[in-house]
Structure 1
Amino acid sequence: MTTTTPRPEAPTALVGHERLLRAVTGLFTRRGLPVARARTAAEALCHGDLVGFPSHGLFNLERLYLPLLDTGRCDPRAEPVTVNDLGACAVVDHRGALGLWAAAEAMDDAVARARRHGVGIVAVRGGTHFGCAGFHAARAAAAGMVGVVAANCGGQRLVPAPGGGLPLLGTNPLSVAAPGLPGRPFVLDMSTTVVPTGRLRLAEREGAPVPAGWLEDERGAPVTDPGAYDRAEARLRWLGGETGTGAYKGFGLGLAVEVLAAGLSGSATGPAPGALTGDGAQGTDDGVGFLLLAVDAVRLRPGGDFTQAMRDLFGTVADCPPARDADGEPRYPGWWEAERAQRRRREGVPLPAGLYEELAALGLFDATEDAGHEGGGAR
């Protein structure tokens, strides 16, 4: 087992949420995105930092999204094209559009279809990375509906099947959202591996080890050095851990996402014949597929009492007493994220000092304007 020695905790800068949105919107606009779509993309990207998922937030701006735009792999002016429309469902080609805004618009399309038909499904091909799946699923919950988002990683192959010798699938995220208690929607947002790769790279950047159980070497022994992943010395585990403790559940969910996101839209898949003939160990993340589903449950459910039923359901979870010596209180997915978002909109979004300086170097804002470190307030 390999380990890293963590560095002392870095100071953070507090930046006002609206200020972040304006700055990132401006940056995307300068890269060629129309203003309204640039704003949506900024909201999707900053969502990760707002709710406490920094591995899917501004950490990825210079690492992932700007290279996509600057190399031409993502078209800032792309206009999605509907290639098959059956009314309640459609297949849409995003044509390399920036997934941060394009997935949000696709979910809005699914919601509009659900208002007309009770259910709306938009299957997307030609997509690119879209940030937090929960951001897009939550748009359906905000409309009073149930939202489901599934996304594959295109032709990318990162993780082998349990017992397999070659990588076949990506981290294949899945999200389900629904109305919950007021201001606290249910939002499940998860990779089908134990963690997404962004969590590893964020830990490596911070010089911190990862918990045993995230990574394993080729013999199945735990690895806690996050850098071992990019050095090809370790691989991600599926949800469930080892084969005997449920790895097939995570792997099965990953395959289910592949079916929903790629099979229905005609996108690239990780498990393709080329995976077995050595066409590149990790494949390529081009040709990403999404499935966005919205269900107008108020119309569908007999009696029309869906909203109250959800409040009863999630209220029961929130009211459940904690176990003796428990670390925290029982809450449902989305609760703590909503708590953080509310506080950070009020107090500012914390950014590690190194990331803040990186963003300032991109021209997002003048680093001299801020008090700079935690406790100095937000601007």
Structure 2
Amino acid sequence: MSLTLQAFQLRTQVAAVIAAAGSMPAEAQQVADNLVLANLSGHDSHGVGMTPRYVDAVLEGGLKPNTGIAVRVDIGTMLALDGQRGYGQIVGVQAMQLGIARAKQHGSCIMTLGNSHHLGRIGHFAEMATAQGLVSMHFVNVLSRPVVAPWGGGDGRFGTNPCCIGIPLAGGDPFLLDFATSRVAQGKMRVAHNKGERVPPGHLIDEHGAPTDDPGVVVVPQSNGLFGALMTFGEHKGYGMAVACELLGGALTGGGTWHRPADTARTVLNGMLTVLIDPAKLGTQASFEVEARAFVDWLRQSPPGAGFEAVQIAGEPERKARATRERNGIWIDDATWGEIVAAGAKVGVAVSADGL
């Protein structure tokens, strides 16, 4: 079973749950807007299905509502920020606003953000930067139950550790590369499990280290109480990128890395290293705009390969999904909706699709 809701309906329902969990109205609305935007963008793994985990994290004390960033170091072109376990949708935006202002002023800014609760879709922050004409690079680690196996390993040792690069393109939409270093995001396995789907070979190993197509091995404990693990993309290359994200997003930011046994905490902490560059201050603005556009046009001139309609640029699938889902609504599987309803009940909110 499933249901389809309009974006405004989901925003209203999710904001009510987040507010009941302790957030002020403006914070609750910003978190809800961000989650729904992820759904609209086609990334259901980072959308409203995260609401139950956020409620649990607040109740266990790992997520602190109504908490902003603290500035630990500020030398103009370099910022060290502490998210203080606030909502990532809040502290991440605050950090980016500060970093963008410094990059516009000085031409660049290197910014670290540690101890943020789940930042959500990292592409959102790259979109903030490219909208201001800035290039942005983001390296993120994940402090939660480790769900990704090292190349050559047989169990989870680190998180999905995303990397994101945003590049403005003059006269057009930006290039927005946003990917987990695992073959797929953990949240996509939660969605697949809730839908009762299997996944293609090469994505997962079970709790014994053997290949499997059952997404449930990384969602619910198996018969021995252990979990399986996701694989990295690109074999050893994706593994190397994942380690880089852990070292840069975790160790360098001060937020920490994962090197302890798994626990059952629902809290998800992120660290993020962000590099912002203003091409206008670099002296290459004119040639950058011409060369970037020429290269993208060159790519698009390639004839479609078998099974494809046209060459796409990173960011286009998300923009296309937004247009479609704004028009047709957002599909929510029955299991995910049931989890959202249960999360509302934990904080005294009756969530219902009826009468919306």
The equivalent residue for 1:125 is: 114
The equivalent residue for 1:327 is: 308
Q: Give 1:345's aligned amino acid.
A: E
**How is 1:303-318 mapped onto 2 (pairs within 5 angstroms)?**
303-318=285-300
Sequence identity (%): 28
Shift in Å at residue 227 of structure 1?
Answer: 1.4
What is the root-mean-square deviation in Å for CA atoms of aligned residues? 2.6
The equivalent residue for 2:355 is: 369
Shift in Å at residue 165 of structure 1?
Answer: 5.5
The equivalent residue for 2:320 is: 339
Name the SS of the counterpart of 1:39 in structure 2. Answer: helix
Q: Give 1:14's aligned amino acid.
A: L
Task: Tell me the TM-score normalized by structure 2.
Answer: 0.87
For the pair 1:148 / 2:137, whether they are aligned, the reply is yes
Name the SS of the counterpart of 1:250 in structure 2. Answer: helix
Q: 1:255 aligns with which of 221, 225, 243?
A: 243
Q: 1:80 aligns with which of 33, 55, 69?
A: 69
Deviates more, 1:281-290 or 1:132-141: 281-290
Shift in Å at residue 221 of structure 1?
Answer: 4.4
Alpha-carbon distance in 2 for matches of 1:74, 1:268:
17
Cα 1:126–1:357 change in 2 (3 A) is closer
**How is 1:4-153 mapped onto 2 (pairs within 5 angstroms)?**
10-15=1-6, 17-62=7-52, 64-153=53-142
The equivalent residue for 1:296 is: 278
Cα 1:182–1:39 change in 2 (3 A) is farther
Task: Tell me the TM-score normalized by structure 1.
Answer: 0.82
Alpha-carbon distance in 2 for matches of 1:120, 1:136:
14
Q: 2:333 aligns with which of 352, 361, 370?
A: 352
**Which sections of structure 1, spanning at least 5 residues, go unmatched?**
1-9, 241-246, 371-379
Q: Per-residue CA shift, 1:49-93, capped at 9, x if unaligned? A: 10111111111111x111112222111122321111111111111
Deviates more, 1:327-336 or 1:249-258: 327-336
Deviates more, 1:345-354 or 1:260-269: 345-354
Q: Per-residue CA shift, 1:90-111, capped at 9, x if unaligned? A: 1111111011221122122211
**Which sections of structure 2, spanning at least 5 residues, go unmatched?**
none
Alpha-carbon distance in 1 for matches of 2:288, 2:65:
39
The equivalent residue for 1:206 is: 195
Q: Per-residue CA shift, 1:18-77, capped at 9, x if unaligned? A: 343344334333333334333332222112210111111111111x11111222211112
- The alignment covers a number of residue pairs equal to 345
Shift in Å at residue 249 of structure 1?
Answer: 0.6
